[in-house]
Amino acid sequence: MKIRKLLSLLFVSTIVVALAMPLSAQAQEAAKGQTFAGEIMDSACAKMGSHKMMMEKEGAKDAKECTDKCVQGGSKYVLYNSATKKTYQLDDQNKSKELSGQKVKITGSYDRKTKTIHVESIDAAS
Ligand SMILES: [Cu+2]
């Protein structure tokens, strides 16, 4: 009798833990202060996943020049992660401009609906 009670208690607590875990993971995702890695790119080149085409067309010598030229032409600064091929919109265009074309680490919160990172800080990645 005693062992059976202990076993059922163990069973119940396992279920509780299993249910609680994805919940806390979700809560963390929604929390502020996430970090995002990638490169500050312009939205036009991010769509293609590379500056290659635009650099030839615009005669830009590097990623920074291409990014700035594309933004002048109406694109927006975005964060592009080449590993996941994901593009994130950035709500702070001025901060993004300072590190355009560079690999960065952005701290902020992510709005899933608008696919926008609310930027708290942008640091150059080493
Ligand atoms: Cu470009």
Tens of pLDDT along 64-75?
Answer: 999 999 999 999
Ligand 1 mean position to 73 CA, how many Å?
10
DSSP code of residue 89: E
What pLDDT score does 90 carry? 98
The answer to whether residues 5 and 50 belong to one domain is no
Q: Give tens-digit pLDDT for 8-57.
A: 777 776 766 676 666 655 555 555 689 999 999 999 999 999 999 999 99
Average pLDDT over residues 57-84: 96
CA-nearest of 38, 31, 33 to 120 is 33
The parent domain of residue 117 ranges over: 32-124
The answer to whether residues 79 and 56 belong to one domain is yes
Ligand 1 mean position to 121 CA, how many Å?
23
- At 49, the amino acid letter reads G
Global confidence as pTM: 0.74
Ligand 1 mean position to 100 CA, how many Å?
10
Ligand 1 mean position to 118 CA, how many Å?
22
Q: Rounded to an integer, what distance in angstroms lies between the CA atom of residue 73 and that of residue 76?
A: 9
The answer to whether residues 20 and 54 belong to one domain is no
Which tokens sit at 85? Answer: 């091929």
Backbone torsions φ then ψ of 80, nearest 5 degrees: -120, 125
The answer to whether residues 66 and 78 belong to one domain is yes
What pLDDT score does 11 carry? 73
- The domain tally of the chain equals 2
What pLDDT score does 8 carry? 76
Q: Could you give the angle at the alpha carbon of 13 between the alpha carbons of 8 and 15, nearest 5°?
A: 100
Provide the mean pLDDT of the chain.
Answer: 89
The answer to whether residues 23 and 48 belong to one domain is no
Ligand 1 mean position to 102 CA, how many Å?
12
The answer to whether residues 58 and 13 belong to one domain is no
The answer to whether residues 102 and 113 belong to one domain is yes
Specify whether the backbone of 27 is left (phi greater than 0), alpha (psi in -120 to 50) or beta: alpha
Q: Which segments of 6-125 are extended strands (E)? A: 34-42, 77-81, 86-90, 103-111, 116-124
Ligand 1 mean position to 74 CA, how many Å?
11
The answer to whether residues 101 and 48 belong to one domain is yes
Average pLDDT over residues 91-104: 98
Ligand 1 mean position to 124 CA, how many Å?
19
What pLDDT score does 3 carry? 73
The answer to whether residues 95 and 81 belong to one domain is yes
